[in-house]
Structure 1
Amino acid sequence: MYPKPEDGGFPAATGGGNAYYHQAGGGGAFAVQGQAPLAAWSTGLFDCFDDCHNCCVTWWCPCITFGQVAEIVDRGSTSCGTSGALYALVMLLTGCHCVYSCFYRAKMRAQYGLQERPCADCCVHYCCEPCALCQAYRELKKRGFDMNLGWHANMERQGHTPATMPPHMHPGMTR
């Protein structure tokens, strides 16, 4: 019923069904069967110069890059301008803009199943804010988004028509 220890599988301590822990390659790393492994980022944190234009924009005005990333991550519920303005406001009033942006990194990782690398999201943004923003920008770009268009135009370009208009209603009874 359960896999034998020599096969590399061990029964789960909790839960039921056929879930069990599997020892990957004898290296001591365990993964839960049935959960997809987290994917690696498409570019490294310090690959900023792969896109020199975005690197310069992010260095001089990070609110632009943050706004573009936030609009895509929020799936159009907030605009690039609104997100960028909030980022700039938090930066001017508190100086802790990295706390605000690290939440978007975590949200993006959850949406795309990305690993928390090279360290925790808040540490990445605290130590390397421009590089973290550039990495998120590059990741979305590699996933097919044109960052200059925004969410809604990207959806139209990809053939997804958002249901923003209510259905047409016929008038009721008239005399």
Structure 2
Amino acid sequence: MYPSVNDAQRCSADGYLGPAPASGIPSTSPAQPYAPPLPYVTTTLRGQGQAGQWSTGLCHCCDDPANCFISCFCPCITFGQISEIADRGSSSCAGNGVIYGLLLMTGFACLYSCCYRSKLRGQYDLEESPCVDCLVHFCCETCALCQEYRELKNRGFDMGIGWEANVDRRNRGVTAAPILARGMTR
């Protein structure tokens, strides 16, 4: 079935080992020397935390109490900020916030927001945890929004200024707000 080690070690003068193993890649001629395929290389942007993991947990809302308060009493603001960054500026914070607010009154806001959680996970190669996106938003909408907000914030986005201002900051090389030194003290 498979060639033995001796068959694989046998080589002719021109380097041809015999027919190439089936790789799913069409070859132009069976007489060409077999070259192993190049390794598959992926490049992804990873932020803080381990590869594929969220930087904070779903129930770590106390890490950012101001955002937790806003997400509890007016989740459309938090959702609008998240969606503008996830859409990379193609939609506005206010527009998505209004749509979310209208859907919130009908009870379907979790379906809308879970799509943005999926988009965010895809952009940053995050795992789908603790369960599927729709269930996370259906059962813990506020916690899910807070986690997504913290994730973007931990990846260097200033959530209050929107996509365009964040891009402008990164282009200028500003990664954080300047630290002002206090005057002389005795």
TM-score by length of 1: 0.71
State the 1:34 CA deviation: 5.2
Q: Which residue in the other structure is 1:114 paired with?
A: 126
Q: Which residue in the other structure is 1:62 paired with?
A: 75
> Of the two structures, which has the highest relative contact order with CA contacts closer than 8 Å and spacing of 6 or more?
2
- Separation (CA, whole Å) in 2 of partners of 1:78 and 1:129: 21
Q: Which residue in the other structure is 1:71 paired with?
A: 84
**Which has the larger strand fraction?**
1
State the 1:91 CA deviation: 1.3
- Separation (CA, whole Å) in 2 of partners of 1:131 and 1:157: 29
State the 1:96 CA deviation: 1.4
Report the CA distance shift for 1:14/1:61 in structure 2 as closer, same or farther (over 3 A): farther
Among 133, 142, 167, which residue is 2:154 paired with? 142
Largest Rg, 1 or 2: 2
Q: Which residue in the other structure is 1:151 paired with?
A: 163
Q: Deviations over 1:45-67 (max 9, x none)?
A: 00011000000000000000000
Q: Aligned partner of 1:61: which letter?
A: C
- Separation (CA, whole Å) in 2 of partners of 1:133 and 1:15: 43
- Separation (CA, whole Å) in 2 of partners of 1:14 and 1:98: 43
Among 91, 94, 98, which residue is 2:104 paired with? 91
Report the CA distance shift for 1:15/1:36 in structure 2 as closer, same or farther (over 3 A): farther
Report the CA distance shift for 1:34/1:159 in structure 2 as closer, same or farther (over 3 A): closer
- Separation (CA, whole Å) in 2 of partners of 1:15 and 1:56: 54
Give the % identical residues. Answer: 54
How many residues are treated as equivalent by the alignment? 138
Unaligned 5+ segments in structure 1 are 5-12, 21-32, 161-175
Q: Which residue in the other structure is 2:181 paired with?
A: none
Runs (4 or more) in structure 1 with deviation over 2 Å come to 13-20, 33-38
Unaligned 5+ segments in structure 2 are 6-21, 26-35, 45-50, 173-186
TM-score by length of 2: 0.67
